[in-house]
Amino acid sequence: MNRQAVRLTVNGKPWHGEVPTRLTLVDCLREEVGLTGTHVGCEHGVCGACSVLLDGEPVRSCLMFAVQADGRAITTVEGLAAPDGALSPLQDAFWECHALQCGYCTPGMLIAAHALIARNPAPSDGDIREALAGNLCRCTGYQQIVDAVRLARRRMGEVPP
Amino acid sequence: MKAAEFAYARALSVADAVALLAAAAGEAKLIAGGQTLVPLMAMRLARPALLVDIDGIAELNGIAMVGDTLRIGAGTRQAEIERSGLVGREVRLLALAIGHVGHGQIRNRGTIGGSIAHGDPAAELPLVAVTLGATLLTETSAGAGEISARDFYLGPMTTTLPADALITRIDLPIWRGRVGAGFHEMSPRRGDFALAAAAAQVELDGRGRCRRAVIGVGGAAPTPIACADAARLLEGRTLDDTLIAAAASAAAALTEPASDSHGSAEYRRRLTAVLVARALKDAATMARAVP
């Protein structure tokens, strides 16, 4: 079997291991690094459940082999909360707005919304929907998710209510 | 893990990449963003023995204007093109089309060269390249070459690019003067491949008549098509609704759409005419706004 050494920085901590070349980044994060917050959905780039930040940009971790990420910094949903476990304002807003039902899409939604607010502190409703357009949710009908991002945006102080 | 076994090599330069391709004798695939290749490998529609990773090769990245040409390195991310002020000012057609490529997360990884080399007949970037008559610069271990995007596509996902070749750069012509562009597509859901797509660019003279025009159609034939005869109808004339409708019909007549669960061939042909007319109207409106 083809294997290769990989070094990553995951949520600020260095990780290294030797993995099969055909191991996707999402499988590496879940099975090798041991962080199961990132979910595996469609495994071919359609659903967005596996979204992570790669050097700060949201990407689908099922559309990358772990070997391609060698030397890069990854942030998973586990990296969004404070070190003491306190929820980020965005996560708090998801909880408050009931922006999840089964929770399967939630890690990807949080990553996509987190990246949006990091790049654009005052996103319009259109910007929010555009940023979440690549993430499928089969429960909520999306409205509460948009509400949650809007609430987080307001609380983070950039846009008056 | 869903992909079949493969060996992996990271190329550090274009010379390195073409040497690896030559040594693999047709058994290797290039990977840059991987946004199309990885799904194909997950479904085992592609089973390369060797993946040559060209991500991060500095000489493949960047956007620069040289004279009347916009040079875009093949490894340039779609997201970078989307954010580029230079693209927005100089090649408006590309700026209009790029936001239709997948979703933001796809564009953060996907590259212009990868999309053009893959050659999906419904993809936006091959359509823009064919419409504008882009030049594709290539490299093999035997040396450099170039090919017009209009001669590049043979059929769905089939191009004239040899197995040992790498696209290094895409050169897009810059039109100066009273120039406008339009791009429209219809897809079942945001971010999906288009059922049909239309691209148009026009230049007007001082009296508002069309000096030159290009029209392209995607998703409605085995390859993206440049509708030269339809565009010629516009030259020397004022772009009114009647003329635009005639050009749109002429463009739609060139299509050979397939019927599938998303729509019949007849639907796609009619859709093409509607989209070409919208793209031309946008292009004319944009051009008229230029002083």
Quick check: is A25 in a domain? yes
The CATH 3.30.43.10 portion of chain B extends over 7-53
Strand partners, A5: A18
Answer whether A134 sits within 8 Å of B191, measured CB to CB.
Answer: yes
Residues A96 and A114 in one domain: yes
Whole-number pLDDT of residue B189: 82
What is the DSSP secondary-structure string of B158-184? EES--TT-EEEEEEEEPP-SEEEEEEE
Residues A109 and A75 in one domain: no
Q: Are strands B143-148 and B210-218 parallel, antiparallel or unpaired?
A: unpaired
Answer whether A48 sits within 8 Å of B105, measured CB to CB.
Answer: yes
Quick check: is A133 in a domain? yes
Quick check: is A103 in a domain? yes
With H, G, I as helix, E, B as strand and everything else as coil, classify residue A91.
Answer: helix
Answer whether A64 sits within 8 Å of B79, measured CB to CB.
Answer: no
Q: Is A141 exposed, middle or buried (0-12, 13-18, 19+ CB in 10 A)?
A: exposed
Extract the tokens encoding A7.
């070094």
* Interface residue of A1, A59, A105 to substitute, partner B, most B CBs within 10 Å: A59
CA distances from B4 to A2, A24, A48, A154, B21 (A): 11, 12, 23, 47, 19
Sheet with B7-10, strands from edge to edge, namely B7-10, B50-53, B28-31
* Interface residue of B5, B77, B103, B192 to substitute, partner A, most A CBs within 10 Å: B103
Residues on chain B touching A109 (C-beta within 8 angstroms): none
Whole-number pLDDT of residue B260: 87
Residues A59 and A13 in one domain: yes
**Where is the domain boundary, A53, A79, A105?**
A79
Whole-number pLDDT of residue A157: 74
**Where is the domain boundary, A45, A79, A113?**
A79
Judge whether residue A11 has pLDDT over 60.
yes
Q: What is the CATH number of domain B7-53?
A: 3.30.43.10
- Say how many Å lie between the first and final Cα of chain B, rounded: 57
The structural domain count of chain A equals 2
pLDDT band at A160 (very low <50, low <70, confident <90, very high): low
Chains A, B: CB contacts within 8 A come to: 88
Extract the tokens encoding B199.
């691209």
Whole-number pLDDT of residue B265: 93
A89–chain B nearest CA distance, Å = 22
* Sign of torsion over alpha carbons B32, B37, B38, B39: positive
Q: Are A81 and A87 in contact (CB under 8 A)?
A: yes
Residues on chain A touching B7 (C-beta within 8 angstroms): 2, 21
In whole angstroms, what is the distance from residue B100 CA to residue B102 CA?
Answer: 6
How much is the ipTM here? Answer: 0.94
Amino acid at B213: A
Whole-number pLDDT of residue B84: 98
Extract the tokens encoding B288.
């008229």
What is B58-173's CATH number, 3.30.70.3190, 3.40.50.1390, 3.30.465.10, 3.30.200.20? 3.30.465.10
Per-residue pLDDT of chain B (291 residues; tens, 9 = 90+): 799 999 999 999 999 999 999 999 899 999 999 999 999 999 999 999 999 999 989 999 999 999 999 999 999 999 999 999 999 999 999 999 999 999 999 999 999 999 999 999 999 999 999 999 999 999 999 999 999 999 999 999 999 999 999 999 999 999 999 999 999 999 988 778 899 999 999 999 999 999 999 999 999 999 999 999 999 999 999 999 999 999 999 999 999 888 888 889 999 999 999 999 999 999 999 999 998
Q: Which stretches of chain B sit within 8 Å of chain A by CB?
A: 1-8, 10, 31, 34-35, 38-39, 41-43, 51, 53, 55, 79, 102-106, 108-109, 190-191
The domain that holds A125 is classified in CATH as 1.10.150.120
Residues A141 and A108 in one domain: yes
Judge whether residue A125 has pLDDT over 60.
yes
The domain that holds A31 is classified in CATH as 3.10.20.30
Whole-number pLDDT of residue B152: 98
Whole-number pLDDT of residue A158: 53
Residues A43 and A73 in one domain: yes
Residues A71 and A133 in one domain: no
Where helices occur in chain B by DSSP H, the ranges are: 14-24, 37-42, 78-83, 85-90, 92-98, 104-107, 112-118, 124-132, 228-232, 241-253, 265-288
Whole-number pLDDT of residue B186: 95
With H, G, I as helix, E, B as strand and everything else as coil, classify residue A33.
Answer: coil
Average of per-residue pLDDT values in chain A: 95
Whole-number pLDDT of residue A156: 86
Predicted confidence (pLDDT) per residue in A84-103, tens digit: 999 999 999 999 999 999 99
Predicted confidence (pLDDT) per residue in A71-84, tens digit: 999 999 999 999 99
Residue from the list B1, B31, B105 with its beta carbon closest to the beta carbon of A58: B105
Quick check: is A27 in a domain? yes
In whole angstroms, what is the distance from residue B3 CA to residue A48 CA?
Answer: 19
Whole-number pLDDT of residue A52: 98
In the CATH hierarchy, which top-level class contains the domain B178-288? alpha beta
Report the chain A residue with the minimal C-alpha distance to residue B40. Answer: A44
**Where is the domain boundary, A20, A55, A79?**
A79
The CATH 3.30.465.10 portion of chain B extends over 58-173
A48–chain B nearest CA distance, Å = 8
Residues on chain B touching A127 (C-beta within 8 angstroms): none
Residues of the domain holding A56: 3-79
Quick check: is A43 in a domain? yes
